[in-house]
Amino acid sequence: MLRVLFDTNIYGFLLKEKDSQDIEKKIIQDKEFIVYGYSPIRKEIRAIPRVSKLSKKARIRILGLYDSITGNHFLKDSIQITHLARKYYDCYRNFGGIGIQVSG
């Protein structure tokens, strides 16, 4: 069984796909591929600015996709996960990625 934790931007990329609903269904139905949720990722999605109708709609759709794909699979905070997430974020930033600060 493959267990994964999608980076925040993956959910936005999924929605841009022409067949995003089919991809979502396949992810949910595949019992050998489990996507886990993680509180800081959901907080980042919730932090999408609601400055226009489009951004409000995107925020709602991405949150719905996140909740649908992760289902009841959720990682609890731990020192190891926080450390791994920090290492990933630092690497992402070193490669030119931009980020937002999400408060605890």
pLDDT digits (tens, 9 = 90+) for 9-38: 899 999 999 999 999 999 999 999 999 999
Q: What is the pLDDT of residues 70-97, one digit of tens each?
A: 999 998 888 888 888 788 888 888 888 7
Q: Is residue 70 part of a domain?
A: yes
Q: Is residue 99 part of a domain?
A: no
What is the span of the domain harbouring residue 15?
2-77
Q: Is residue 94 part of a domain?
A: no
Q: Is the pTM of this model over 0.85?
A: no
Which one-letter amino acid corresponds to residue 102?
Answer: V
Q: Is residue 87 part of a domain?
A: no
